A and B are shown apart, each in its own frame.
Chain A
Amino acid sequence: MPHDAVDRDLKKGSGELLILSLLEARPRHGYEISKLIETRSEGAVSFRVASLYPLLYRLEARGLIQGRWVEKAGQRRRRYYRVTAAGKKVLAARRAGWQAFVEAIQRITEKEYA
């Protein structure tokens, strides 16, 4: 497999996978998503506003997630995003691809140390 092609696609595509994964369990708003990515990756991955929201809007435009304004008692209204059925399908595919990729990388790296 041409490695630099994958590398580049990886950078571009990982955000999509991360967001879909985070929304799989329950709906979340943008700030929560960015905080979760940052904390769960222990600061290794972070998204700026300028990258996160265009990505959310794009996923929404493709029908993979859906955003809705929700008002909870005593709070400002916030926009919550949830995964659609189409989004779940893509998530499964992306996840399988990701695992295959990681396994491939592992096989390579294992060989290095063998």
Chain B
Amino acid sequence: MPDWKAAIRERLRGLDLDGGREAEIVEELAQHLGDRYAEMIAAGASEDRALRSVLDELEGSYPLAEGLRSAGEAAAREPRSLGASGSEGILGGLGHDLRVASRVIRVNPAFSLAVVLMLALGVAGTTAIFSVFDGLFLRPLPFPDPGRLVDLNEAAPKWNLTQVSVSNPDFTAWRNGNASFDSMAFFSGGGANLSDSSGVARRIKTAEVTHDLLGMLGLKPVLGRDFLPEEDRPGGAKVVLLGYDLWRSLFHGERNVAGRIVKLDEQPYTVIGVLPREAVLPPDAEAWRPLAADPNQGGSYYLDGIGRLKRGVSLAQAKADLTRVHKGMIQGAKAYVNEFTFPTVIPLRDRYLGDFRTVTNILLGAVGVVLLIACVNIAGLTMVRGEARSREIAIRAAVGASRARIVRQLLTESLVLAGLGGALGVLLGKACLAAMVSSIPDDVPQWVSFAWDWRFALFSIVVTGAAAMLFGLAPALQAAAADAGSCLQETSRSSPSRARHRVLSGLVVFEIALASMLLVCSGLLFQAFRKVLNVDPGFRPDHVMTWRLDLPAAKYPKAEQQLGAYRDLVARLRALPGVSAVSAASLVPLNGHVGNFFVAEGARPLGRNEQNPVVLTTTALAGYFETMGMTLLKGRWITEQDQEAHAPQVVVVNESFAKRFWPGQDPVGKRIRFDGEKTPWMQVAGLARDTKHYGLDTEMKPGVFLPFTTQPQPALTMVLRSPGDVERLVGPVRETIRQMDPDLPMFEIRTMTERLDRSLWTRRASSWLFGAFAAVAILLAVAGIYGVVSFAVSRRTREIGIRIALGARPGDVVAQVLGSGMALVAIGTTVGLAASVAIANVLKSMLFGVSARDLATYAAVAALVALVGALANSVPARRAAAIDPIRALRTE
């Protein structure tokens, strides 16, 4: 008899079994081999053949040691079944899983398509919005160490002004006296008429900056040199740093530009260098000139400031430090120091993007809700699928598939679906983002860029994919559990487990509630938008073209020359065919703000804590009001005679002004004058209806209109009205201006309709985006209802069949199915509307007086949800009614 034990021990080597265990195994196996050997010999086999055959039992494709090793590890783990050879790699299993997954997906195209589409919608919408948010708020500024850069400004809380800008003496004192900044620089935005040797005039945006701005931002010129301190003093050399783009367009990227001369407002400036691309602050500036401010020249607040905080200094510390310096100046009792102003220090990004924050935050909330709905829906769908597959899974478990194996298979399926949905979502989302970016107004600073955010795309794919897995796995795992027999029996009885059906119903209620909420919010925003659109702007915006002109002081030094030029131009333009009226004003509606304080004769006394209001001050040429289509309530407009040099001083006030100073009285004939200085009184000649100067949804301030001679302005916005297509007149207008002065460019060419549109951009965009989100949400919710009710019907086929066989009429069946589905819709809508009442308050700032509890909106949403809910339910209900009882019974 061969030594079986030795043969076995040899094969157990390396397994590190403990002595006792090994001896037992050896003994047991040796007996087996001995028995087998004896049996073969008894049957007549040769010793040699019997030996080979028996030893073969230890080898084969599953070597003994491999089998025993895994058996040793198996106690706590899932078993590796027989036949799983240790040599099969993870990748081999994955390939198999993928093949199976793709087959499962192809076998159920409707389900797979639904999941993929839902994933794609969720991923696309959320990532596109998030990318915008990211571009605006999360991406760093294009400067080194941007976290330490802050915006410096002054506020005058007593006048209710949050940004009054900084004056020369203040910035000088701050810069010299502070202990918390590495450096600070100041600038003022401006413009200049640029004329080159070819005689073509164009308008460029300039910035007048302190010499240290570029260095403070942490940048260097790409060509030439930075400003010198001595160039930044009153009377310093006329030098200019060209912006990168201007350099490219003007000198075609030629590197040898230092020392070249350009004419700005008819004055020669020496080019000393070219700014880097990153020099995007001050916004839009195409060229920088030295500020050359006189530190003793007070009174005028016109500068923006940027500071670089010392390391470790907080905003609050910096503010306290500046306030100390600022208040120290009052004790110095210098006449120009204004004790009403305070320094403000805020993060640089907040200053330039603050306006968009509310809108983006609200949209981000909507994005979250849509993502949540997509998750809930996918969860519901996969749960239904998991339930439907529990029989298959039970069988696989019964014939030996381990639980880990089944879970891995299902995970692979989910991953494949998530991958497909994610990929489609990325494509869709990129298209969405491109569409959104193209509609973003150009008053967003240049340094903001909107790039597709891969991190968030991945995040949303993972979130939705995880929802699919979690909810797909739960029923599958139950099916794969040890008690598989009862699971099989249960499924064969065709009644979905109550608990699971309750979870599904809960999901549907939840997503209907969320969708109703979004619908209410979107409805309210649209109501508000419509209300804003219906606001009377106080002027007639259609058929009006506007553009700005800036008469350079070098050529038009005196007010009479400026007025003469504008009168000349108005006369020439009026002669153009198709022009019905032309005039000009320092500001047109939606064109910015210039304010002054006024004293009104016989005005009502100020209340306690009441401040003299800031009054919008506009210089208007004769004919401006008529051209703009404004309404005269009393008295008369400003006329040509009022513009004569020694004409009596007159003024036109608006309704808000009259109400504020002389409530209930006729303002015509009363007198006002500028506050503070001993200026002459001006008599009110007319009362104008308020215009919506700051936007249709913004309250109007008191305003006055002054004749050109009272307050001359070299830069005016010209206004031209035509009964026809006003935009076709731009060419003839440009030619007329060129004939008068070839060095005078027209800029900011816009129709009034365009100005109105732009002012409504954020409101329009947020309304539409919100609407789109609500539409997606309700679509998803409808798909959810449809899925769950169809599922319930299909599981109850037998029951319904029996009822029909027993005489139930199709109408009864429809009513019953419809009723159970509509109950979910009703509960979801109720919950959603109730939640909306709370949520809508967040939108208050955007609702423009539309009540957050606007009944019509709530009623419309309830009706809409009920309608689409009924549609979604009617399909499975009709299917139920059409069930053939004979077939239904045979499905068992």
Which residues of chain A have a CB within 8 Å of any CB of chain B? Answer: 1-2, 4-6, 8-17, 30-31, 34, 48-51, 53-55, 57-59, 61-62, 69, 76, 78-79, 86, 89-90, 92-98, 100-101, 104
Query: Of A9, A16, A95, which is within 8 A of B396 by CB?
Result: A9
A93 touching B398, Cβ below 8 Å: yes
A1 touching B399, Cβ below 8 Å: no
Nearest-neighbor residue (CB-CB) of A56 within chain B:
B71
Which residues of chain B have a CB within 8 Å of any CB of chain A? Answer: 24-25, 28-29, 31-33, 35-36, 56-60, 62-64, 67-68, 70-72, 74-75, 79-84, 96, 99-100, 103-104, 107, 391-392, 394-401, 405, 409, 482-485, 488-489
Q: A1-B392, A5-B409, A30-B32 are in contact. Are A50 and B59 (CB under 8 A)?
A: yes
A10 touching B399, Cβ below 8 Å: yes
Max chain B Cβ within 10 angstroms of own Cβ: one of A31, A93, A97, A101 = A97
B391 contact set on A, CB distance < 8 A? 100
A55 contact set on B, CB distance < 8 A? 67, 71, 82
B99 contact set on A, CB distance < 8 A? 4
A78 contact set on B, CB distance < 8 A? 31
B71 touching A94, Cβ below 8 Å: no
B82 contact set on A, CB distance < 8 A? 11-13, 15-16, 51, 54-55
Query: Of A11, A31, A97, which is within 8 A of B398 by CB?
Result: A97
Query: Of A6, A50, A89, which is within 8 A of B60 by CB?
Result: A50
B81 contact set on A, CB distance < 8 A? 9, 12-13, 15-16
B25 contact set on A, CB distance < 8 A? 53
Task: State the Cβ distance, B485 to closest chain A Cβ, in Å.
Answer: 4
9 A-B residue pairings within 8 Å (CB atoms): A12-B84, A16-B81, A58-B74, A62-B75, A78-B31, A93-B397, A95-B485, A98-B398, A104-B395
A6 touching B58, Cβ below 8 Å: no
B398 touching A96, Cβ below 8 Å: yes
A94 touching B58, Cβ below 8 Å: no
B485 touching A92, Cβ below 8 Å: yes
B482 touching A9, Cβ below 8 Å: no
Task: State the Cβ distance, B890 to closest chain A Cβ, in Å.
Answer: 12
Task: State the Cβ distance, B260 to closest chain A Cβ, in Å.
Answer: 75
A76 touching B400, Cβ below 8 Å: no
In angstroms, Cα B77 to Cα A62, docked, is 9
A96 touching B488, Cβ below 8 Å: yes
A89 touching B483, Cβ below 8 Å: yes
B484 touching A13, Cβ below 8 Å: no
In angstroms, Cα B100 to Cα A57, docked, is 31
A16 contact set on B, CB distance < 8 A? 79, 81-82, 400
Task: State the Cβ distance, A89 to closest chain B Cβ, in Å.
Answer: 6
A76 touching B31, Cβ below 8 Å: yes
B58 touching A61, Cβ below 8 Å: no
Task: State the Cβ distance, B703 to closest chain A Cβ, in Å.
Answer: 76
A94 contact set on B, CB distance < 8 A? 398-400, 484
B84 touching A53, Cβ below 8 Å: no
B28 touching A30, Cβ below 8 Å: yes
A2 contact set on B, CB distance < 8 A? 100, 103-104, 107
Max chain B Cβ within 10 angstroms of own Cβ: one of A16, A34, A93, A98 = A93
Nearest-neighbor residue (CB-CB) of B8 within chain A:
A49
B59 contact set on A, CB distance < 8 A? 50
B70 contact set on A, CB distance < 8 A? 54, 58
Task: State the Cβ distance, B65 to closest chain A Cβ, in Å.
Answer: 9
Q: A2-B103, A94-B400 are in contact. Are A53 and B482 (CB under 8 A)?
A: no
A54 touching B400, Cβ below 8 Å: no
Nearest-neighbor residue (CB-CB) of A96 within chain B:
B485
In angstroms, Cα B485 to Cα A17, docked, is 14
A79 contact set on B, CB distance < 8 A? 24, 28
Q: A4-B100, A31-B36, A57-B71 are in contact. Are A17 and B399 (CB under 8 A)?
A: yes
Nearest-neighbor residue (CB-CB) of A79 within chain B:
B28
B72 contact set on A, CB distance < 8 A? 57
Nearest-neighbor residue (CB-CB) of B409 within chain A:
A5
In angstroms, Cα B103 to Cα A6, docked, is 13
In angstroms, Cα B610 to Cα A3, docked, is 84
Nearest-neighbor residue (CB-CB) of A77 within chain B:
B27
Query: Of A4, A57, A89, A98, which is within 8 A of B482 by CB?
Result: A89
B29 touching A53, Cβ below 8 Å: yes
A54 contact set on B, CB distance < 8 A? 62, 64, 67-68, 70-71, 82
A50 touching B67, Cβ below 8 Å: yes
Task: State the Cβ distance, B404 to closest chain A Cβ, in Å.
Answer: 12
A53 touching B67, Cβ below 8 Å: yes
Task: Report, nearest first, the 8 A-B pairs whose CB atoms are least far apart.
Answer: A13-B400, A97-B398, A54-B67, A12-B81, A9-B401, A93-B484, A96-B485, A49-B57
A86 contact set on B, CB distance < 8 A? 482
A49 touching B68, Cβ below 8 Å: no
A34 contact set on B, CB distance < 8 A? 32
In angstroms, Cα B552 to Cα A8, docked, is 88
In angstroms, Cα B814 to Cα A25, docked, is 53
Q: A6-B396, A12-B400, A50-B64 are in contact. Are A31 and B484 (CB under 8 A)?
A: no
A101 contact set on B, CB distance < 8 A? 395, 398-399
A92 contact set on B, CB distance < 8 A? 485
User: 17 other contacts beyond A76-B31, A78-B31, with CB at 8 A cut-off?
Assistant: A2-B107, A5-B401, A6-B395, A9-B396, A11-B83, A12-B84, A48-B56, A49-B33, A49-B57, A53-B29, A53-B32, A54-B62, A54-B70, A58-B70, A58-B71, A58-B79, A61-B75
In angstroms, Cα B396 to Cα A14, docked, is 11
Max chain B Cβ within 10 angstroms of own Cβ: one of A8, A16, A86 = A8
Max chain B Cβ within 10 angstroms of own Cβ: one of A9, A48, A69, A79 = A9
A93 touching B485, Cβ below 8 Å: yes
In angstroms, Cα B311 to Cα A101, docked, is 73
B485 touching A9, Cβ below 8 Å: no
B396 touching A5, Cβ below 8 Å: yes
